[in-house]
Amino acid sequence: MNTLILRTIVPLLTGLMVIYSIVVLLAGHNDPGGGFIGGLIAASAFALYGIACGVAPVRRALYFHPISIAAFGMLLSALSGVISLYKGVPFLTGLWWFPEIAKGVEVPLSTPLMFDIGVWLVVVGSLVTIALALEEKE
């Protein structure tokens, strides 16, 4: 779709949507959200960018092939379960780590978060693959 309005606004919108998707992803542990829904938002951002500016800029912007991104997500999710091997607890047990980045500021990191980031990557990768394939046909 080659309209001036869309082409002007979409790069901004894409950035906003991706940031929002990350907010949703990180909020997901305690609030509504999570890797899947966040991934859908990010994937629609890239799809929109593809509609407005063409498929090639999206592929350039992503740098990695979307399928590789999805595979990396799969790897991350699978490995998030394997980490519990070293702790002597069953597969996929949630393990937490609270590094103090500044005085009194703790960042809770966990294997569920790693799993969720993996899901986010799988959803983004696979949906962007499909969306770009469909947009390329036009």
Partner 1 sequence: MKTISTEGAMLQTVTAAIDWYILAPVVIPLVTAAILIIFRRSVGLHPYIALLALAGNIYASFELLMKVKLEGPLAMTMGNWLPPFGITFTADFLGAILTLTSSLAVFCVALYGMGDASSRERRFGFYPLILTLLVGVNGSFLTGDIFNLYVWFEVFVISSFGLIVLGGTRKQLDGAVKYCFLSLIATTLFLIATGYLYGLYGTLNMADLSKIVAPLKFEGPLVVVSGLFLLAFSMKAAAFPLYFWLPASYHTPKIVVSALFAGLLTKVGAYSLLRTFTIILPVAGDSWLMGVMFYVGVGTAICGALGAVAQTDLRRLFSFLLVASIGFMLIGISIGTETALTATIFYMVHSILIMTALFLVAGVIYEHRGSLDLRSLSGMNKDLPFLSLLFLGLGFVAMGFPPFSGFWPKFVLISETIKQEAYVGTFAIIFSSFLSIISLGRAFAFGFWRPLTPNAEDEVAAQAKKLSVYSKLQYLPVLLLMILVTIVGIAPGFLFDLSSMGAKGLVDTSSYIAAVFGGAS
Interface ranges with partner 1 (CB under 8 A):
65, 67-68, 70-72, 74-75, 78-79, 81-82, 84-85, 88-94
Q: Nearer Cβ to partner 1, position 25 or 70?
A: 70
Strands in the chain per DSSP E: 96-97, 100-102, 105-106, 109-110
Q: How many CB atoms lie within 10 A of CB 127?
A: 19
Closest approach, Cβ 137 to partner 1, in A, equals 16
Q: Nearer Cβ to partner 1, position 6 or 84?
A: 84
Closest approach, Cβ 80 to partner 1, in A, equals 11
Q: Nearer Cβ to partner 1, position 85 or 130?
A: 85
How far is the CA of 125 from the CAs of 4, 36, 40, in angstroms? 28, 12, 10
* 101: phi then psi, degrees, rounded to nearest 5: -85, -30
